[in-house]
Amino acid sequence: MKKNVSILSIGDELLNGFTVDTNSSWLAKEISKYDFLDVKNNLTVKDNYKEIYSSLDYLLSKNNRFIFITGGLGPTHDDITKNALMNYFDSELICDLKHMKSLEKRYPIISKELIKNQSQILSISSIIPNSKGTAIGMALKHNDTDLFILPGVPAEMKNMYHEHVSKKFIEPFFKKKIKYITILTAGIYETKLYEILRDLIYENKENYRVSFLPSYSGVRIRLMSNNNTPLDGFKNLIIKKIDDYIFGFDDDTLEQVISKDLISNGKKIAIAESCTGGYISKKITDIPNSSNYFIGSVVAYSNSVKEEILKVNAKTLVEKGAVSSEVALQMALGVMKKFKSNIGIATTGISGPSGGSKEKPVGLIYIAIVSKNRQVIKKFNLIPDREKHRRIATQVCLNMLRLFLKK
């Protein structure tokens, strides 16, 4: 029999549009990995005592096995979650000395008053340690319901969930099962993917469901079983049809895949970015130990930087324009030579909103990837929206690099 789980997110900022609530969707995804756990309610309320009380009344009446509460554990006047819970459960706040000493050691510049505030828990609760921040978490039981009170900061909440909540309260009692597999693709549109896979999907519709989830990073293909039929066989059939477009599975990212390929190939890269403004370098260096293969980069926005640092020919800039395949190639060759890398990468384009023309519209970009023996230059017309253009261009460039490394 399935056990109900509910999520309560607390914070004015979640309802006024200033902060996007990623915590509840992340928690729901994690909980869905377990047999017999089903998320039934997902509520968001303001930092308001009455709203918190009424939400708790509702959720505790719904036979929940677990209730996750996030947000409102900070030290400021509008962080009222602990006080609201203290009043609701007729408890009191006590100071956890172990946590207080830990905060004093980790954050010596923080005031003693703030440290004491952040070390308080309900007397009826046990501590959920927070190694990533100051806000202490709490676990408490009310009748047959376990409540977990966690910070609203996503990195802190996720770490506390993995390190303490799931290990102690969920994994010992509920088994994980693979409910779906996600195939990650890049360099192909959703409509083309469906065209390739349509017959296979139709032939297997009794046993499997297939969803296409497009985003600027590519198209995710989610495979789900209708009747607990194993997914691996069906996954392999799909892989055979679209293998060239697949870069990973489930939580993989292009930058992670590229990191592994660069390390295994023993190659080092350098990047010259114009319109992408450092986005590609940022993605590459998001991966720990990227210094093993990433030497450096240049954000060459002006023509003078392209000429002086990357040695782009002034005549080419005048005759072909900064946004051209010729300039992209010279930028890639220049940065490879400058940093003495095995591979040079360059982008030049028009992100907008202005600067475009009939011949070179907003959204146009040239991407060049070169090595000692190979040169690949491609032209793309992407979305004429500045932020989306740079994000999509970054993913396109990373996928080009992935394919470049395969050959």
pLDDT 10s digits, 186-236? 999 999 999 999 999 999 999 999 999 998 889 999 998 877 788 999 999
Evaluate if residue 354 carries a pLDDT over 90. Answer: no
pLDDT at 87 (0 to 100): 97
* 306 closest CA partner among 332, 341, 278: 332
Helix (H, G, I), strand (E, B) or coil at 174: coil
- pLDDT category, 384, cuts 50, 70, 90? confident
Beta strands in 34-188 (DSSP E): 37-45, 64-70, 93-95, 120-122, 126-128, 137-142, 145-150, 180-185
pLDDT at 229 (0 to 100): 80
Q: Where does CATH 3.90.950.20 sit in the chain?
A: 254-406
pLDDT at 103 (0 to 100): 87
pLDDT at 32 (0 to 100): 84
Q: What is the pTM of this model?
A: 0.71
- pLDDT category, 366, cuts 50, 70, 90? very high
What is the average per-residue pLDDT within 121-132? Answer: 94
Evaluate if residue 1 carries a pLDDT over 80. Answer: no
pLDDT at 179 (0 to 100): 72
Write down the mean pLDDT value for the chain. Answer: 93
Q: Which of these ranges, 260-264, 309-313, 336-340, 388-392, has the smallest mean pLDDT?
A: 388-392
What is the average per-residue pLDDT within 317-343? Answer: 96
10 Å CB burial of residue 226 (0-12, 13-18, 19+) is exposed
pLDDT at 177 (0 to 100): 65
Which of 184 and 37 is assigned the larger pLDDT?
A: 184
Order of strands, sheet of 180-185, starting from the edge strand that comes earlier in the sequence: 208-215, 218-225, 180-185, 246-249
Establish whether the linkage from the previous residue to 353 is cis, with ω within 30° of 0: yes
pLDDT tens digits, one per residue of 235-276: 999 999 999 999 999 989 999 999 999 999 999 999 999 999
Q: Where does CATH 3.40.980.10 sit in the chain?
A: 3-170
- pLDDT category, 178, cuts 50, 70, 90? low
pLDDT at 17 (0 to 100): 85
pLDDT at 112 (0 to 100): 86
Q: Where does CATH 3.30.70.2860 sit in the chain?
A: 180-249
Evaluate if residue 58 carries a pLDDT over 90. Answer: yes
Q: Which of these ranges, 8-17, 90-99, 117-126, 168-177, has the smallest mean pLDDT?
A: 168-177
DSSP state of 33: T
CATH number of 3-170: 3.40.980.10
Evaluate if residue 44 carries a pLDDT over 90. Answer: yes
Q: What angle do CA 124, 102, 172 make, to 5 degrees?
A: 50
Decide which of 3.40.50.1820, 1.10.510.10, 3.90.950.20, 3.10.20.740 is the CATH code for 254-406: 3.90.950.20
Decide which of 1.20.140.10, 3.20.20.450, 3.30.70.2860, 3.40.190.290 is the CATH code for 180-249: 3.30.70.2860
**CA separation for the pair 119, 134 (Å, rounded):** 8
Q: What secondary structure does DSSP assign to 338-361, as a single string? A: HHT-SEEEEEEE--SSS---SSS-
